[in-house]
């Protein structure tokens, strides 16, 4: 997973570390004799003390070619230009003209990288379990609305979240809010059958806001913890569908509006997310198809530029192929 991005980071760490290892300046520091004080009050210091001080520093000129190559590699790995510039700037600030202890070159450069990535991925975190527990105390279901482009893996991601809820001992039901795409309801029912879950549905062409409203009422009556609501896939040119989505949000008042994003869309991830965010406001993101994505830069881009938390990563086709996004774990895996 994310092999291209991982290899680029490793290559840069190696290049910078080798630069430090080859550059060694040994300075001789002399301690001058202390002037002899009268009346013998102080001990006479007459001998010269020579101390070898080993410093390894890189100038901006020496580091610049490596950082330029890094920037190009990051952009090729779907990292947005602004994010690549930040990483480059962070490395320059932390490493240019800074002494590095012998044998600590790789460790120092790696930690500098990690700190930059931590800042990039520092966004308000959503605790889904806490959200559900709070709603339970209020005797109401949590409403999750899933949205995204056609083919992003939205319906499959809904089913995976259903499995995650089951694993965490929460009850749930599905609302078939995609009443527009042919076979969308049947696809959701197929997932629900495997999960032994209930699907609230109307006929094709029905008002999706009404379907989701009925789903909410169903969950309230049966004290079901979570309603997972589907919606039709759409693009920026689908004005009618976008208006429909706005109505769904207004009527159902979801606790979370979750954008399902195909991680393979690369640099289009930012404008796609921005489009949905401008229309209805995105609360969290699920990135799908990470098991076949060698790049992974779009995760960094969306987090930094739009300040949206990543809720889950999809890693396969099975219902269990969903992992909760953990910033530190994600970063550490980039350097394995």
At residue 18, does pLDDT exceed 80? no
What pLDDT digit, counting tens, does each position of 101-133 carry?
Answer: 777 778 888 898 899 999 999 998 899 999 999
pLDDT of residue 209 exceeding 50, the answer is yes
Share of the chain above pLDDT 70, in %: 88
Rounded Cα distance between 208 and 47, Å, is: 90
| Cβ atoms < 10 Å from Cβ of 219 | 23
What average pLDDT does range 310-326 have in this prediction? 94
Q: Does the pLDDT at position 207 exceed 70? A: yes
Q: What is the mean pLDDT of the chain?
A: 85
- Could you tell me the pLDDT band of residue 158, with boundaries at 50, 70 and 90? very high
Q: How far apart are CA 90 and CA 88, in angstroms?
A: 6
pLDDT tens digits for range 258-300:
999 998 888 888 988 998 999 899 999 999 988 888 778 899 9
- Average pLDDT value for residue range 173-187: 93
Extract the runs of DSSP E, i.e. beta strands, from 120-274: 142-147, 172-175, 199-200, 226-229, 256-262
**Which whole number is the average pLDDT over 95-101?**
82
Rounded-to-integer distance, Cα 320 and Cα 298, Å:
23
128-326: CATH, from 3.40.50.1980, 3.10.20.90, 2.40.50.320, 3.40.50.300: 3.40.50.300
Domain ranges within the chain, ordered by starting residue: 3-120, 128-326
* pLDDT higher than threshold 50 for residue 168: yes
Residue 139: predicted pLDDT: 96
Among the listed ranges 1-5, 74-78, 205-209, 274-278, which one has the minimum average pLDDT value? 1-5
CATH number (3.40.720.10, 1.20.120.140, 1.10.300.10, 1.20.1560.10) of 3-120 reads: 1.20.120.140
Evaluate if residue 219 carries a pLDDT over 70.
yes
Tokens of 320: 């269990």
| Residue that the structure tokens 């195909």 belong to | 262
Identify the pLDDT of residue 77: 87
Q: Which pTM was predicted? A: 0.84
Q: What percent of the chain has pLDDT over 90?
A: 51
């Amino acid at each position: 997973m994310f092999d291209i991005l991982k290899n680029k980071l490793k290559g840069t760490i190696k290049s910078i570390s080798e630069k430090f290892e080859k550059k060694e300046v040994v300075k001789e520091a002399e301690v001058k004799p202390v002037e002899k004080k009268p009346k013998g009050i102080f001990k006479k210091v007459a001998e010269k003390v020579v101390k070898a001080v080993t410093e390894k520093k890189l100038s901006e000129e020496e580091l610049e070619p490596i950082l330029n190559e890094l920037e190009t590699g990051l952009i090729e790995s779907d990292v947005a230009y602004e994010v690549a510039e930040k990483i480059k700037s962070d490395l320059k600030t932390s490493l240019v003209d800074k002494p590095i202890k012998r044998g600590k070159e790789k460790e120092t450069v790696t930690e500098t990288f990690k700190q930059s990535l931590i800042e990039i991925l520092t966004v308000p975190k959503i605790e889904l379990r806490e959200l559900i527990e709070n709603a339970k105390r209020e005797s109401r279901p949590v409403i999750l609305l899933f949205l995204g482009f056609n083919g992003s893996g939205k319906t499959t991601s809904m089913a995976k979240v259903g499995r995650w809820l089951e694993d965490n001992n929460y009850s749930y039901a599905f609302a078939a809010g995609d009443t527009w795409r042919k076979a969308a309801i049947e696809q959701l029912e197929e997932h629900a059958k495997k999960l032994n879950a209930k699907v609230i549905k109307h006929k094709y062409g029905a008002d999706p806001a009404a379907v989701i409203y009925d789903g909410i009422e169903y969950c309230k009556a049966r004290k079901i913890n979570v309603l997972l609501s589907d919606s039709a896939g759409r693009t920026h040119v689908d004005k009618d569908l976008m208006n429909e989505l706005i109505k769904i949000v207004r009527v159902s008042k979801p606790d979370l509006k979750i954008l399902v994003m195909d991680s393979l869309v690369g640099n289009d991830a930012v404008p796609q997310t921005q489009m949905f965010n401008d229309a209805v406001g995105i609360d969290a993101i699920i990135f799908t198809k990470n098991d076949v994505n060698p790049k992974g830069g779009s995760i960094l881009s969306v987090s930094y530029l739009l300040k949206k938390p990543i809720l889950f990563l999809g890693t396969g086709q099975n219902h269990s192929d969903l992992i909760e996004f953990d910033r530190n774990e994600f970063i550490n895996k980039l350097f394995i």
